[in-house]
Amino acid sequence: MVRKRYQEAKTGFQLLKSIDADKYLKKIGLGKEDHYFWKQVGKALLCTYTLFGVAWLYNETSPLGWWTLKPRPKEERELAHLYERREFPYPGDAEAMEEFVAKGGMIGTTIGPKGIIETDKDSVNYQKEMQNKKFEQEAMKLWVRMRNEVISELQEKGYDVE
């Protein structure tokens, strides 16, 4: 009669010693020979995220105020000198809040023309107003161009036109 020999079950520390982790890590690309590659990948990611973080922080808290990474429309750039940013007091400071309300700080927009508080303007009306202004400018340019063409044609024919 042949006796079968059974393998003893390994538990605890014995089990940990018997597992060859490097064999499994090597199969998925994390072996000892891959350490340099992953170190380089880590450095690249760290540098990239640092640059993105600095750009984001600078965009939010630019010391120049007027030069952030956000593009601004042409109309806003042209009218920027008319606007100021209002400073809001800390909510717990009662004296500063009273002074702010007395100046009319709670009425109107957070960014408005200097010295004027506007209550009836909203973004839709502002956009329509800007479109109308742009349309009027384009119409004026077209009219001037047509007028100049007519004047040049009349001058070519010999008429004296001012």
102-161 residue pLDDT tens: 776 655 544 455 555 555 555 667 778 888 888 999 999 999 999 999 999 999 988 887
Q: Which of 80, 82, 84, 56 is nearest to 70 (CA)?
A: 56
Is the CA virtual torsion 43, 44, 47, 49 positive or negative?
negative
Tokens coding 44: 């690249």
Tell me the average pLDDT across 42-70.
79
- Mean pLDDT of all residues in 12-30: 79
Question: What ranges do the domains of the chain cover?
Answer: 12-61, 70-121, 124-161
The model's pTM is 0.30
Output the six-digit token pair for 135: 């349309």
SS3 105: coil
Does residue 62 carry a pLDDT above 80?
A: no
Residues 67/59, Cβ–Cβ less than 8 Å: no
R_g of the chain, CA atoms, integer Å = 36
Share of residues in the chain with pLDDT > 90 (%): 18
Q: Which of 26-35, 56-65, 151-160 shows the lowest per-residue confidence on average (mean pLDDT)? A: 56-65
